[in-house]
A = this chain, B = another copy of it.
Amino acid sequence: MAAREPEFAKVVVFGTGLIGGSFALGLKQAGAVEEVVGFGRTPATLRAAQQLGVIDRAGINPAHEIADADIVLVATPVAQMPEIFARIAPYLGPNTLVTDGGSTKGDVVAAARTAFKGHIGKFVPAHPIAGAENSGPSAARWDLYWGKKVVVTPLPENNDERLDRIKRAWSLCGADIYELTPEQHDRVFAAVSHLPHLLSFALVHDLAVRDDADLFFTFAASGFRDFTRIAASHPEMWRDICLANRQALLGELDSYRAQLADLHDALAAGDGARLEAVFDIARQRRRAWGGQD
């Protein structure tokens, strides 16, 4: 077999942990990238990323690294993205595309518009759905994205060639690509991810602050364990996600609170038929969705 030219001569990742590091390793595994340059919060993290083979070298100055990059992936916490966009904006080359790994999209797009202005067409937003229990370069895996979903949320300014190129990069990492508008994306993830985290944190907190909290936790069992597993998630990260997706999350929270008010009234009235109807619809849908577990 003749040696192939890698599709991407240079990829720059901001954030060399689970999301960014796995993107780098996935492209390397596919033989699709010649050089990966990493930027990170600390020199120690970047040294670790280099030693693990996640990046080829650490970047020092964006002014020297962005113009000739094919793809820049910003895979930091969402709250840090506006600053990074502003730092790289002056150096985007004619063929440079930017994508991100943020779990909210409306706010990321707004920050990108502010920073990239007339070059916003070079930014193709993305959200890889790939968990976040572990972090740091040692959590990066070349096969993290295999069989996972990556949601791309194209902007009107993205032409087809640019959109396809970013989709292609995520595909090379093994991901299945989906398209949503940024607004759809934020509403969907508010409902199926951000709200459940908020609700789980809320339940554990409500018990934890009681004087007799120990009594409750002594008898908590497997249902409680499953329901509250996500309450062990990272507080700072989830604070940022909730704030970043505030409008959509408030909408979902309002809808859920109305649902609880309805259940409260049914319970207070002893309306077993209403309770059973709600439980039954939920159970049927839950089983249809995830019958295997």
For the complex, give the distance between the alpha carbons of A256 and B209 in Å. 12
Indicate the size class of the contact surface on chain A: 35 or more
By a CB distance below 8 angstroms, the chain B residues around A264 are 250, 253-254, 257
Asked, given contacts A226-B229, A267-B253, whether A202 binds B149 with beta carbons under 8 Å apart, the answer is no
Question: From residue A281, how far is it (CB to closest CB) to chain B in Å?
Answer: 5
A58 interface residue per 8 A CB criterion: no
The proximity string for A residues 252-285 relative to B, scoring 1 for CB distances below 8 Å and 0 otherwise, is 0111110111011001101010011011111111
B217 touches A199 (CB 8 A): no
- Set of chain B residues within 8 Å of A129, measured between Cβ atoms: 219, 221
- Which residues of chain B are within 8 angstroms of A272 by Cβ–Cβ distance? 239-240, 243
What does the 1/0 interface line of A199-232 toward B look like (CB < 8 Å)? 1111111111100010111111111111111111
- Residues of B contacting A189 in the complex (Cβ-Cβ under 8 angstroms): 219
Asked whether any CB of chain B lies closer than 8 Å to the CB of A249, the reply is: yes
Whether B249 contacts A203 by the Cβ 8 Å rule is no
Could you tell me if A196 and B208 are in contact, using CB atoms closer than 8 angstroms? no
25 contacts between A and B (CB under 8 A): A188-B216, A189-B219, A192-B207, A192-B216, A193-B220, A193-B221, A196-B228, A199-B199, A202-B256, A202-B259, A205-B259, A206-B259, A223-B229, A226-B227, A226-B230, A228-B290, A229-B293, A231-B279, A233-B279, A233-B283, A235-B280, A235-B282, A235-B283, A239-B272, A257-B261
Given contacts A207-B285, A242-B275, 19 further A-B contacts (CB under 8 A): A191-B207, A192-B217, A192-B224, A197-B223, A202-B282, A203-B282, A204-B282, A206-B256, A209-B281, A223-B233, A226-B226, A229-B293, A231-B279, A235-B279, A236-B276, A239-B275, A250-B264, A253-B260, A260-B260
